[in-house]
Each structure stands twice: as structure tokens, then as C-alpha cells.
């Protein structure tokens, strides 16, 4: 993809200064929008609806992560454990690309409406799945629809709120994880233990309908920006499908234990890199200064964090003997750390520059992954892993709002959809790749050396976070 290069020459300090200036009048409140809050009358409907939708996604993600060890064993699908997460991410790539250009051409409402509808369909398919293969189909639909929803929400933020409010609304998205983080894993564990794992999926569609009732009316009249075109849309969708198929092929190749599997693995990696090169802004794969590095860091951070998180419930329940409910509590404290970090990032007076915030966040992920890795040993208290995961969550809380604000500020109005989708594309592609590689190594080693299987996956995540800390200074443009 060759978009979004003209706005990558600003210094990161200028970006933060831009974000503090927005003095147009709020037509509803009669005060400068730079002084209005995200719950001012003009923004209230969008804010409530968007936060409700983010909270729903948080609940579903944490609940499924908590229940997946039980689901995989019940459906005799432990070898497909990592694919249950990787397939969702791979499918989200197509949804993100489609929603990015759709939102630039038609506004965020159509993509958001379809995303919510298909999300409910995917939940029902997964909830009634008779086998792990059918459950994977439901997870694919969930990933496609989730990609559409997330990009549409980013575009709504860029089109509705002034730049000065972007840090606050993105911090509120992180705060929307607090209640799901507290109750989601616990509810999921209780459902698994007392009602059955299927209700982890079947209980969510009603919540999705309620969230849709809040957010869709609020963004219905948000139209497209001037200057959009759809000339590259068919090509981008084709490349997105190619990237998703390559990511899925990575998982399949990783299950093979012969020369054909090795060749297939190499082919899948080459296909994924080539499609990513066409989908992401030029220079993303080499972390060129400016927007390309911002997008690359989003993928690196997510690959490191989620590449660790998906194995935490399995580690704690299978190796350390914790119940599904207690294993879910660890995900809860990580999400709470994320929300706390985002709250700190939203403070109007910030002593750290964006590169410093990014470096601190990446370093905290390294510390967190190391703490979780220590919990592999029975001689290390589980509390070490819990504290570590709080630190990792704090790091993500610093990283996500910073990267989101930089992406919108480096994007012209009519490219915010494309660049928001690129940000989340890199997130999904990197995480899917990490899960594919880590899941393949995990499956290969688990029956012979379980501790080594976990350790290899965590080492990959820690190495990624270290790389991100090194690259953080490159968000400054030349």
C-alpha cells in the first residue's frame, strides 16, 4: 500500500502540540470543543455507544480466553488451541480492510452495522459447535466482524471528536475493559463450571444488540470525508484475503512434522510478508520513521502481549492446578493494569514524550512476560506471574492510546479509515504470525517437554517487546 506518506514528516512533539489545539465551537454546548469533555452533549451519544461496544468486545475476548482450555479438551481439539485465536485474527484482516475503505467512502455506520450483525452470527455458530472445526468457523466469522467494528469505531473517533479529545476517548476505550476485566473471566469460569462452556458464546448476542441500540443511532449521520475514492479497494481486499489465508496456512503447516510441512511453512511466511507489504504503508516492514514505525510498533506490542496471554489460562489451569475461575483472575488483573496505564496516559499534562512512553511501555511488557515465564517452575509462586502480568498490562495501557493518537494525527481526514485499518492490520497480522509460530512450536514440544513448550513461546514474546523498545525512538520523523 502506498497511502499515508505525505503526513509522515512531522516531529512527534508537533503531533502532541496539534492534539492540544481544537477551538471550534461545540454547536450543542456553545463552548470550545477543546474545552468540552467526551461526555458533552454533542459527543454523549457516540461516547456511550462506543464505550458499550468496546466493553462488549472486552467481555467476549476475556471470557473466551478463560474458557478455551476447557473448550479445547471438551471438543478434543487441543492441537488446534492456538488456531482458535489465530484464526480469529486472520479473518479480522479482511474485515479491517473492507471497513477501512467503506468508512472513508460511506462513513462508519454501515461497516459498524454489518460488523455487529455478523458478530452475533459468529457467536451462535461457536456456541452450538459440535466439533472444534465448527467452532473455528464461528471464530472466523467473529474475527471478520470484529475487524469491521474496530476500524469503524476508530473512524468515528476521528470524524466526531477534535484532536484534543482523542487521548481521552482512547483512554475511555481502555477504561471500558475495567468492568469486563473484573467480571468477565469470573463469569466465564462460573459458566464453564456450572452451566457449560457454550454459554460463554450464547450469552453475548443479547448484549451485542443492546450495544448496537446505543451506538448505531449516534453515528448514523456521520458521513464520509471529502476526497475519498475507491480505486484501490478491490486490490486491497484481494491482498487482505491473501494475508488471511497465509496466516491460516501458517497454523496448518505448523501441525505437520515433515519436509512438506517445512516447505509449506516457508511458503506461508513469504505470502504473509508479501501481502503485508502491499497492505501496510510503505516502510512499515523496515520501521521507517514516522507513521510506518507507529504502525509497526502496534503489531510488535500486540504480538508480544497476546502471544503470551493466550497461554496463561492453559499454564495456570493445567500446570499449576488453578480452577478456570482463578486462572481467569490473572487475565483480569492484566486488563486492570491496562486500564490504569491508559488512565495515566490520558492525563492532560504529560512529562514524557511519545517515544519515551513507547519505550517504557515496551520495557514493562518485557518485565511482565518474564514474570509469567517464571511461573512455569513449580518452585516460583504464582503471584510472581500475576505481578508480572499487571506490569505487562500497564505497558499496553501506555502504548495503545499513544499509538492511536499518533496514527490519527499523522493521517489526512480522508485517509483515516485506511490508516486506522493499517494500524489494526499490523496488530492482527503480527499477532496471528506469533500465535502460528508459537503454537506450532508449542504443539511440537508439549508432549515431550511441557515446560520448554511454554518457555519458547514466552521467549518469542519477550524478544519482540525488546525490539519494540529499541524502535520506539523512530516515531520521530526525519
Indicate which CATH number applies to the domain containing 183: 1.20.1250.20
Q: Can you say whether the dihedral through the CA atoms of 274, 277, 278, 280 is positive or negative?
A: positive
Q: How far is the C-alpha of 173 from the C-alpha of 164, rounded, in Å?
A: 16
- The per-residue pLDDT for 416 is 67
Structural domain includes residue 265: yes
Question: Who contacts 390 (Cβ-Cβ below 8 Å, separation ≥6)?
Answer: 333, 334, 336, 337, 368
Going by pLDDT thresholds of 50, 70 and 90, the confidence category of residue 358 is very high
Task: Assess if residue 120 is contained within a domain.
Answer: yes
Among 38-52, 149-163, 169-183, name the one with the lowest average pLDDT: 169-183
Q: In which domain, by residue range, is 385 found?
A: 41-220+232-475
Q: By three-state DSSP, how is residue 25 classified?
A: strand
Higher-pLDDT residue of 198 and 4 is 198
Read off the pLDDT of each residue in 188-216 and give the average, rounded to a whole number: 81
- What per-residue confidence (pLDDT) applies to 228? 52
Q: Which helix (H) or strand (E) holds 208?
A: helix 205-219
Residue 320 CA to residue 329 CA, distance in Å, equals: 14
- 3-state SS class at 143: helix
Residue 32 DSSP one-character state? B
Has residue 62 been placed in a domain? yes
- In this prediction, residue 31 carries a pLDDT of 38
Confidence (pLDDT) at 181: 67
In angstroms, the Cα distances linking 58 to 107, 174, 183, 424, 441 are 24, 9, 11, 16, 28
Q: Is residue 450 part of a domain?
A: yes
Quote helix, strand, coil % in the chain, to nearest 5. Answer: 75, 0, 20
Total residues found in the chain within this entry: 478
Arithmetic mean of pLDDT, 357-376 = 94
Contact (CB, 8 A) for 152 and 103: yes
Q: How many structural domains comprise the chain?
A: 1
CA distance 146 to 127: 17
Q: Is 229 helix (H, G, I), strand (E, B) or coil?
A: coil
Helix axis angle, 416-446 to 81-106, nearest 10°: 170
In degrees to the nearest 10, what's the CA dihedral of 265, 271, 274, 279? -120
- Indicate the pLDDT class of residue 409, thresholds 50, 70 and 90: confident
| Residue 26 in domain | no
pLDDT for position 392: 94
Locate 153 and state its grid cell: 469505531
Please, are residues 156 and 214 in contact by the beta-carbon 8 Å criterion?
no
Closest CA to 160 of 43, 27, 19, 29: 43
* pLDDT value of residue 57: 79
Q: Which residue do the cell numbers 516460583 mark?
A: 380
Q: In whole angstroms, what separates CA 465 from the centre of its chain?
A: 16
Residue predicted with more confidence, 309 or 163: 309
Max mean pLDDT among 112-116, 243-247, 346-350, 368-372 falls in: 368-372
Report yes or no on 268 lying in a domain: yes
**Is residue 160 included in any domain, yes or no?**
yes
Backbone angle region of 290, left / alpha / beta, with phi > 0 → left and psi within -120 to 50 → alpha: left
Contact 472, 297 (CB under 8 A): yes
Position 373 scores a pLDDT of 92
For residues 246-261, give the mean pLDDT.
Answer: 76
Domain assignment of residue 29, yes or no: no
- Say if residue 29's pLDDT is above 70: no
Q: What phi and psi values does residue 32 have, to the nearest 5 degrees?
A: -60, 135
Tens digit of each residue's pLDDT (9 = 90 or more) over 286-300: 888 888 999 999 999
Of 364, 379, 387, 327, nearest to 462 (Cα)? 364
pTM beyond 0.75: no
Say if residues 346 and 16 touch (Cβ distance below 8 Å).
Answer: no
Amino acid at each position: 500500500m502506498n497511502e499515508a506518506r505525505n503526513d509522515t514528516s512531522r516531529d512527534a512533539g508537533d503531533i502532541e502540540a496539534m492534539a492540544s489545539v481544537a477551538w471550534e465551537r461545540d454547536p450543542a454546548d456553545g463552548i470550545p470543543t477543546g474545552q468540552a469533555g467526551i461526555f458533552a452533549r454533542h459527543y454523549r451519544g457516540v461516547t456511550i455507544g462506543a464505550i458499550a461496544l468496546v466493553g462488549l468486545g472486552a467481555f467476549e475476548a476475556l471470557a473466551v480466553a478463560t474458557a478455551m482450555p476447557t473448550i479445547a479438551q471438551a471438543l478434543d481439539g487441543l492441537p488446534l488451541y492456538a488456531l482458535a485465536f489465530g484464526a480469529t485474527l486472520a479473518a479480522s484482516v479482511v474485515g479491517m480492510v473492507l471497513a477501512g475503505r467503506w468508512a472513508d467512502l460511506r462513513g462508519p455506520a454501515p461497516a459498524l452495522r454489518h460488523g455487529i450483525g455478523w458478530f452475533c452470527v459468529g457467536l451462535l455458530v461457536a456456541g452450538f459447535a459440535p466439533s472444534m472445526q465448527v467452532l473455528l468457523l464461528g471464530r472466523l466469522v467473529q474475527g471478520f466482524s470484529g475487524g469491521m467494528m474496530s476500524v469503524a469505531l476508530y473512524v468515528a473517533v476521528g470524524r466526531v471528536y477534535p484532536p484534543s479529545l482523542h487521548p481521552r476517548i482512547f483512554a475511555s476505550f481502555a477504561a471500558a475493559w475495567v468492568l469486563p476485566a473484573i467480571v468477565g473471566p469470573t463469569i466465564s469460569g462460573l459458566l464453564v463450571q456450572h452451566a457449560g462452556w457454550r454459554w460463554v458464546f450464547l450469552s453475548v448476542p443479547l448484549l451485542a444488540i443492546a450495544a448496537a441500540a446505543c451506538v448505531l443511532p449516534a453515528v448514523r449521520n456521520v458521513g464520509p470525508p471529502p476526497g475519498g475514492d475507491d480505486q484501490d479497494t478491490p486490490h486491497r481486499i484481494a491482498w487482505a484475503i491473501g494475508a488471511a489465508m497465509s496466516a491460516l496456512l501458517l497454523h496448518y503447516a505448523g501441525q505437520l512434522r515433515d519436509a512438506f510441512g517445512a516447505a509449506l511453512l516457508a511458503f506461508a511466511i513469504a505470502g504473509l510478508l508479501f501481502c503485508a507489504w502491499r497492505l501496510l504503508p510503505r516502510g512499515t516492514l523496515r520501521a521507517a520513521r514516522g507513521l510506518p514505525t507507529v504502525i509497526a510498533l502496534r503489531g510488535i506490542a500486540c504480538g508480544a502481549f497476546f502471544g503470551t496471554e493466550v497461554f496463561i489460562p492453559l499454564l495456570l489451569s493445567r500446570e499449576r492446578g488453578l480452577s478456570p475461575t482463578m486462572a481467569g483472575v490473572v487475565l483480569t488483573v492484566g486488563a486492570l493494569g491496562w486500564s490504569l496505564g491508559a488512565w495515566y496516559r490520558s492525563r492532560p499534562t504529560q512529562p514524557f514524550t511519545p517515544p519515551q512512553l513507547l519505550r517504557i511501555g515496551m520495557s514493562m511488557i518485557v518485565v511482565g512476560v518474564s514474570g509469567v515465564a517464571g511461573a512455569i517452575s513449580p518452585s516460583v509462586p504464582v503471584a510472581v506471574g500475576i505481578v508480572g502480568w499487571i506490569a505487562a498490562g500497564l505497558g499496553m495501557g501506555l502504548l495503545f492510546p499513544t499509538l492511536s493518537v499518533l496514527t490519527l494525527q499523522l493521517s489526512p481526514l480522508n485517509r483515516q479509515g485506511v490508516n486506522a485499518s493499517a494500524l489494526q492490520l499490523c496488530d492482527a497480522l503480527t499477532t496471528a504470525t506469533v500465535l502460528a509460530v508459537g503454537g506450532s512450536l508449542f504443539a511440537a514440544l508439549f508432549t515431550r517437554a511441557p515446560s520448554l513448550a511454554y518457555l519458547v513461546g514466552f521467549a518469542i514474546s519477550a524478544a519482540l517487546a525488546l525490539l519494540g523498545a529499541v524502535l520506539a525512538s523512530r516515531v520521530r520523523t526525519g
